[in-house]
Homo-oligomer: A and B are copies of this chain.
């Protein structure tokens, strides 16, 4: 018995096969160009395993339609990537493979990976952020995704400008929301170089940490989660975690007694495997639910 995983990102699709223990046994990636080009590669890949494939978990870039009763359930909806707008992603997969499938956002899948195997394992309430070319997030309570009329878009929450930061923000919608102030493009635009080229003791990192701490602060007050996990390119700067802890303490002023910060605000245990492992775990769940 095998499970399939599709991590459909804005620049590449990572497809993988996992065994019954949800160990990754093969993984490939394809560039995200157009559905007409990308999807046949995806389908060909899984066709090799068709006989043993029991379910597929899909974590897609969005926005996506997550409502099973909606006529456009399984579609990528209003994405700026024109070729994928209103594309029936889940429908195309279901046409090719008559097996159970899980359908959620890419970042929900990564959150589910950390919840199943990583720093959210065994916890009832987990929030996962990725801070990369954008800021995305997924939240789980008792194994269910937090969602309502749609999936959350926490990356665009409001932040209070740092007094030493005169950057106007790079979000095309909101300017200086969290994504506009703290995602990779904002780091690069502000500093004229990418994050990995900015020295650890550059005062800019205190500003960056302040925005991430504001995010952790709001997340604490909104969800009281048992853990907040920050992944993505920006958090690969490992010195950031301590800076975020310090800024979070300043903001919270002991108002709420969170779990110990070293275990409460953390980076992903699974690193870049969170998405694929999350999709495999979601595939297994879809298979169990369909039985």
Which residues of A come within 8 Å of B, CB atoms?
A: 78, 123-125, 139, 141-142, 144, 146-161, 173-174, 214, 217-219, 221-226, 251, 253, 255-259
Q: Is the CB of A156 within 8 A of B258?
A: no
Q: Is the CB of A148 within 8 A of B224?
A: yes
Provide the residues of chain B in CB contact with A224, threshold 8 Å: 146-153
Provide the residues of chain B in CB contact with A146, threshold 8 Å: 141, 146, 222-224
Q: Is the CB of B158 within 8 A of A255?
A: no
Which of B148, B156, B223, B255 has a CB less than 8 Å from the CB of A148?
B223
Q: How far is the CB of A129 from chain B (nearest CB, A)?
A: 12
Which of B150, B155, B156, B256 has a CB less than 8 Å from the CB of A257?
B150
Closest to A125 in B: B148
Provide the residues of chain B in CB contact with A256, threshold 8 Å: 150, 153
Q: How far is the CB of A248 from chain B (nearest CB, A)?
A: 12
> Can you spell out 24 A-B residue pairs with CB atoms less than 8 angstroms apart?
A78-B257, A123-B148, A124-B148, A141-B141, A141-B144, A141-B146, A141-B148, A142-B144, A146-B146, A147-B224, A148-B223, A149-B224, A149-B226, A149-B258, A149-B259, A150-B257, A152-B221, A153-B255, A153-B256, A154-B222, A157-B218, A158-B218, A174-B251, A222-B222
Instruction: Give bound CA distance, A255 to B80, whole Å.
Output: 12
Q: How far is the CB of A217 from chain B (nearest CB, A)?
A: 7
Q: How far is the CB of A185 from chain B (nearest CB, A)?
A: 17
Which of B78, B141, B174 has a CB less than 8 Å from the CB of A253?
B174
Q: Is the CB of A147 within 8 A of B160?
A: no
Provide the residues of chain B in CB contact with A219, threshold 8 Å: 222
Instruction: Give bound CA distance, A272 to B142, whole Å.
Output: 31
Q: Is the CB of B174 within 8 A of A255?
A: yes
Q: How far is the CB of A121 from chain B (nearest CB, A)?
A: 15
Instruction: Give bound CA distance, A256 to B62, whole Å.
Output: 12
Closest to A171 in B: B255
Provide the residues of chain B in CB contact with A217, threshold 8 Å: 158
Instruction: Give bound CA distance, A69 to B210, whole Å.
Output: 35
| A150, A158, A225, most chain B CB atoms within 10 A | A158
Provide the residues of chain B in CB contact with A159, threshold 8 Å: 158, 160
Q: Is the CB of B226 within 8 A of A223?
A: no
Provide the residues of chain B in CB contact with A152, threshold 8 Å: 221-224
Q: Is the CB of A173 within 8 A of B255?
A: yes
